[in-house]
């Protein structure tokens, strides 16, 4: 007893061995441990996880950890009291069973998420504040193909909880046997209440149950994108509408079970909806579209309807209620007639419409197009694709009535002729004109002088229009002296004689020129182009112009000051041309392409290294005269440059 009273601290304890010489004495001591509280100083000790049998026999230990003996309910309660996301992630790595238990816990059920809000303004130093984790939804995760499984979603739900919270989740395709199901989506819903953007593409095993869980837990959801989800129906969409009032954008594509009821709920319960896109949904009709447009008309600004069975009635509703719509796209509406587009234009409701795209709609005619021009006072961009009943006369009438029109794009509108194009340029203040695959244009020389010019046109793009030749190009050149961007790719019929007048009439100075696929052009065009516009030219594309030789590169090296992007793929270029480029002191090329130039060999390595000081992209694909060893040396030397080979 005297020795016990004289004990002064931990350092006087005996650290090694046992107080007792045999196991019988040790067993007697432990036999009373259940009746007396024994205190020992904190020491590192061997973890005992199973009962021991003491005696003269050897101590045996149960191999199964005692924590696995606990029922799931107890484990869940333990997990709820884990302090932070990092620790929970560590627990999730132990086993799939623990991961599944962690995903069953909602974010708000963790003790660490409960913030002490009392006495926030108190000056007392005795108050200990418990700060909650930031959960603003900064993180983005994308799972594609075989990587999209329930296990990965569960890991994402647990792992992102302690690192700012999951804000955006994209699932694109999953296996039909072991892909994402309602379970995985439910795990995300419980663990990621901060989710704001959800995209589900080609997820065949997810149904309304999973989407309802998202709606129940993720009230901050702002954007929802559903594509090729065959088991999602109106039930899931109604749940989203009822629980996600912050929804601003909804996109639905190829979802055969979603129809009018879901859209009606979205229109009534989502007052912040700004963008809607519906494509190839057979159950969506006039009731759903008209209800959505009339209910959400106050803030709805972007509308895209494609491949739906709606009629003229829906277009009339859009024309009347679309007072906030700025971007409108209508595509593949086979049940809409000329009357629907005419009524939409004359309803005078699309006063804020800025961009309008119409594709594959038989109801677009000259009459309806003119009505649209008159009814959309602020329309600036118009795109017509595969509108086979629009002629040149209708186009001119539309251009005259649409006083604010700046950009016009025509694709596969085969009734538009050369006179229609010239008429449009002569009667409106266009800044940009694009013609793609318009087969009705024929190259005819007009003897009568052009009445007026289009000084506002800055950008001209005429692609793959075989009838647009030398005569048409010369007329456009005389009409549009302020061109800066010219794209004539795929015009096999134009020659040097047709292009030179356009180059000479461009007073403002060309900045971007694309002549790819113009097979008949020669070095003469490049010589004139660089002499006339070398002080302003920034991009030059001569891809496929097989009559272009080293003389063109020498002209570029001599005259171009600001050129940063040069493409001479599949041209008659050799090492001599590359050497000329490398000796130009004023050049500051960033992107250079020699793809398919068989005349470029290993001799150009020194010149390419010199050019590579400023390059960020170099294309040497299909240059068969360059060896693999030379390519490897270039890759090692030009490590800042992205080299394709």
- Mean pLDDT of the 332-342 span: 96
Residue 517: left if φ>0, alpha if ψ -120 to 50, beta else—which one?
left
- Mean pLDDT of the 258-270 span: 95
Q: What is the pLDDT of residue 13?
A: 36
Q: What is the pLDDT of residue 498?
A: 86
Q: What is the pLDDT of residue 103?
A: 62
- Residue 541 has phi, psi (to 5 degrees) of -120, 115
Residue 251: left if φ>0, alpha if ψ -120 to 50, beta else—which one?
beta
Q: What is the pLDDT of residue 190?
A: 83
pLDDT above 90 (res 86): no
pLDDT above 70 (res 546): yes
Task: Specify the range with the lowest mean pLDDT, choosing from 327-336, 469-478, 581-590.
Answer: 469-478
pLDDT above 50 (res 438): yes
Q: How far is CA 33 from the centre of its chain?
A: 66
pLDDT above 50 (res 631): yes
Q: What is the pLDDT of residue 36?
A: 33
pLDDT above 50 (res 118): no
pLDDT above 80 (res 313): yes
Q: What is the pLDDT of residue 114?
A: 46
Residue 34's contacts (CB-CB under 8 Å, 6 or more residues apart) are: none
CA dihedral over 209, 104, 108, 226, signed as positive or negative: negative
Q: How confident is the model at residue 77 (pLDDT cuts 50, 70, 90)?
A: low
Q: In a 3-state reduction of DSSP, which class is residue 383?
A: strand
Q: What is the pLDDT of residue 585?
A: 85
Q: What whole-number distance in Å separates Cα of residue 358 and Cα of residue 411?
A: 10
Q: What is the pLDDT of residue 574?
A: 95
* 3-state secondary structure labels for all residues of 521-548: CCHHHHHHHHHHHCCCCCEEECCCCCCC
Task: Specify the range with the lowest mean pLDDT, choosing from 3-17, 59-73, 521-535, 540-554.
Answer: 3-17
- Mean pLDDT of the 496-514 span: 92
pLDDT above 80 (res 297): no
Q: How confident is the model at residue 426 (pLDDT cuts 50, 70, 90)?
A: confident
Nearest residue to 570 (alpha-carbon basis) of 515, 524, 629: 515
How many C-beta atoms surround the C-beta of residue 14 within 10 A?
A: 7
pLDDT above 60 (res 194): yes
Q: How confident is the model at residue 138 (pLDDT cuts 50, 70, 90)?
A: confident
- Mean pLDDT of the 17-24 span: 41
Q: What is the pLDDT of residue 472?
A: 87
Task: Specify the range with the lowest mean pLDDT, choosing from 31-45, 259-273, 299-313.
Answer: 31-45
pLDDT above 80 (res 134): no
Q: 421 vs 358, 380, 460, CA distance in Å? A: 19, 18, 12
Q: How confident is the model at residue 1 (pLDDT cuts 50, 70, 90)?
A: very low
Would you give the end-to-end CA distance of the chain in angstroms?
Answer: 88
What is the chain's mean pLDDT, rounded? Answer: 82
Residue 145: left if φ>0, alpha if ψ -120 to 50, beta else—which one?
left
Q: What is the pLDDT of residue 471?
A: 86
- Mean pLDDT of the 145-164 span: 76
Strand pairing category for 166-172 and 432-436: unpaired
How many C-beta atoms surround the C-beta of residue 546 within 10 A?
A: 13
Strand pairing category for 197-201 and 617-619: unpaired
Q: What whole-number distance in Å separates Cα of residue 14 and Cα of residue 17?
A: 8
Please check whether residue 340 is in contact with residue 363, taking contact to mean a CB–CB distance below 8 angstroms.
yes
pLDDT above 50 (res 11): no
Q: What is the pLDDT of residue 99?
A: 59
- Mean pLDDT of the 197-220 span: 94
Beta bridge partners of 304: 277, 329
Q: What is the pLDDT of residue 95?
A: 56
Question: What percent of the chain shows pLDDT beyond 90?
Answer: 60
Please check whether residue 258 is in contact with residue 238, taking contact to mean a CB–CB distance below 8 angstroms.
no
| Tens-place pLDDT, residues 567-626 | 999 999 999 999 999 999 888 999 999 999 999 999 999 999 999 999 999 999 999 999
């Amino acid at each position: 007893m005297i020795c016990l009273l004289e004990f002064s601290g931990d350092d006087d304890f005996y650290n090694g061995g046992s107080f007792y010489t045999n196991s019988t004495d040790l067993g007697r001591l432990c036999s009373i441990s259940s009746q007396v509280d024994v205190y020992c100083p904190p020491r590192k000790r061997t973890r005992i996880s199973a009962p021991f049998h003491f005696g003269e026999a050897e101590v045996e230990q149960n191999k199964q950890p005692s924590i696995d003996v606990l029922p799931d309910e107890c484990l869940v309660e333990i997990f709820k009291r884990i302090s932070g996301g990092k620790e929970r992630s560590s627990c999730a790595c132990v086993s799939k069973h623990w991961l599944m238990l962690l995903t069953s816990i909602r974010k708000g059920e963790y003790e660490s998420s409960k913030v002490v809000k009392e006495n926030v303004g108190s000056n007392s130093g005795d108050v200990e504040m418990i700060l909650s984790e930031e959960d603003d939804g900064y993180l983005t995760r994308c799972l594609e193909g075989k990587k999209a499984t329930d296990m990965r979603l569960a890991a994402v739900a647990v792992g992102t909880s302690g690192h700012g919270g999951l804000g955006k989740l994209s699932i694109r395709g999953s296996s039909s046997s072991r892909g994402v199901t309602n379970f995985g989506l439910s795990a995300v819903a419980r663990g990621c209440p901060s989710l704001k953007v959800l995209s589900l593409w080609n997820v065949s095993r997810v149904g309304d149950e999973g989407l309802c869980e998202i709606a129940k837990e993720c009230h901050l959801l702002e954007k929802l994108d559903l594509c090729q989800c065959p088991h999602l129906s109106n039930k899931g969409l109604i749940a989203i509408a009822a629980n996600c009032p912050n929804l601003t954008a909804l996109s639905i594509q190829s979802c055969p079970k979603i129809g009018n009821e879901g859209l009606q709920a979205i229109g009534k319960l989502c007052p912040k909806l700004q963008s809607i896109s519906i494509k190839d949904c057979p159950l969506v009709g006039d009731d759903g579209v008209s209800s959505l447009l009339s209910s959400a008309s106050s803030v709805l600004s972007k509308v895209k309807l494609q491949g739906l069975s709606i009629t003229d009635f829906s277009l009339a509703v859009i024309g009347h209620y679309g007072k906030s719509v700025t971007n409108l796209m209508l595509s593949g509406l086979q049940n809409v007639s000329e009357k629907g587009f005419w009524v939409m234009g004359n309803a005078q409701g699309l006063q804020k419409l800025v961009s309008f795209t119409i594709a594959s709609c038989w109801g677009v005619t000259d009459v309806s197009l003119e009505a649209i021009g008159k009814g959309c006072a602020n329309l600036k961009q118009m795109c017509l694709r595969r509108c086979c009943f629009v002629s040149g006369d209708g186009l001119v009438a539309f251009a005259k009535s649409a006083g604010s029109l700046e950009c016009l794009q025509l694709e596969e509108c085969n009734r538009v002729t050369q006179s229609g194009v010239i008429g449009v340029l002569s009667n409106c203040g266009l800044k940009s004109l694009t013609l793609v695959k318009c087969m009705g244009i024929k190259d005819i020389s007009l003897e009568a002088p052009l009445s007026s010019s289009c000084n506002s046109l800055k950008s001209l793009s005429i692609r793959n229009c075989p009838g647009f030749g030398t005569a048409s190009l010369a007329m456009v050149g005389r009409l549009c002296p302020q061109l800066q961007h010219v794209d004539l790719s795929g015009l096999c019929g134009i020659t040097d004689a047709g292009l030179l007048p356009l180059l000479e009439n461009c007073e403002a100075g060309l900045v971007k020129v694309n002549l790819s696929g113009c097979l008949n052009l020669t070095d003469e065009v490049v010589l004139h182009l660089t002499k006339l516009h070398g002080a302003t030219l920034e991009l030059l594309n001569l891809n496929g112009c097989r009559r272009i030789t080293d003389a063109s590169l020498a002209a570029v090296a001599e005259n171009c000051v600001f050129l940063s992007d040069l493409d001479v793929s599949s041209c008659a270029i050799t090492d001599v041309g590359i050497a000329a480029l490398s000796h130009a002191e004023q050049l500051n090329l960033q992107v250079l392409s020699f793809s398919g130039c068989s005349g470029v060999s290993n001799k150009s390595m020194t010149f390419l290294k010199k050019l590579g000081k400023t390059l960020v992209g170099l294309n040497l694909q299909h240059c068969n005269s360059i060896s693999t060893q030379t390519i490897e040396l270039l890759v090692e030397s030009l490590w800042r440059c992205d080299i394709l080979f």
